[in-house]
Structure 1
Amino acid sequence: MRAEKITTANTVHHIKPLEDYPELALDEDNLESICPTCHNKEHPVRGKKKPEKGKKRRATVLKSPANPNEF
């Protein structure tokens, strides 16, 4: 409840920026649910800049085998 009013929080915000701390992407201590208006206030330049050529967002996907002792 950032703006002293109750609204639907349907946006996940990374407290420490994902660009600077990719290892915290799914760390629950680094995530908070906020409304889109509050999220836009956190990122005022979002959507105003065109992405640089050749620069894309990256995601690291980790796969591991299931633990056979669990079944």
Structure 2
Amino acid sequence: MDLMKPELLRKLNKLIEDDEVQKFYTWKEYRFLRSKAKIRDNNECQMCKREGKHGQYGACHHKEEVREKPELALTLSNVEILCKYHHNIVHPEKLNATPVFMNEEWF
């Protein structure tokens, strides 16, 4: 499933250019994609699952970063559910960062 349309890609590229990517995560298209990923992955951390463990939903992770491959930002096969622990391992740079925004994904 790919929800990216040319006008959305232009809008996302502008957000990247303006260093406002966090606004992308409020888009209805992203929220819909995230809900589909949660259903597909059964709200379970896919890295935990690969390790034979069980971890609950913490974040919807883009395998190819939004800034690097914006054309894949709304593609279901490019996202997976991770627990907070594994998301922090994948993104250690975000551990010391102050959250720019908070939404239901943070809880």
User: What is the deviation of 1:35?
Assistant: 0.5
Question: 1:45 is paired with a residue of what secondary structure?
Answer: helix
Which TM-score applies when normalising by structure 1?
Answer: 0.59
Does residue 26 of the first structure (1) align with residue 26 of the second (2)?
Answer: no
Give the one of 6, 25, 45 matched to 2:93: 45
Q: Which residue is 1:12 aligned to?
A: 60
- Which ranges of structure 1 fall in alignment gaps of 5 or more residues? 51-71
Please tell me the residue identity of whatever aligns with 1:23: E
Kindly name which structure, 1 or 2, has the bigger radius of gyration based on alpha carbons. Answer: 1
User: What is the deviation of 1:9?
Assistant: 2.0
Please tell me the residue identity of whatever aligns with 1:10: G
1:15-39 C-alpha deviation (Å, 9 max, x unpaired): 0111101111110010001101100
d(CA) in 2 for partners of 1:39, 1:2: 14
Identity in percent: 32
Q: Report the aligned-residue RMSD.
A: 1.8
- Structure with greater proportional helix content: 2
- Which ranges of structure 2 fall in alignment gaps of 5 or more residues? 1-48, 99-107
User: What is the deviation of 1:5?
Assistant: 1.3
Question: 2:60 is paired with a residue of what secondary structure?
Answer: strand
Q: Which residue is 1:56 aligned to?
A: none
Which TM-score applies when normalising by structure 2?
Answer: 0.41
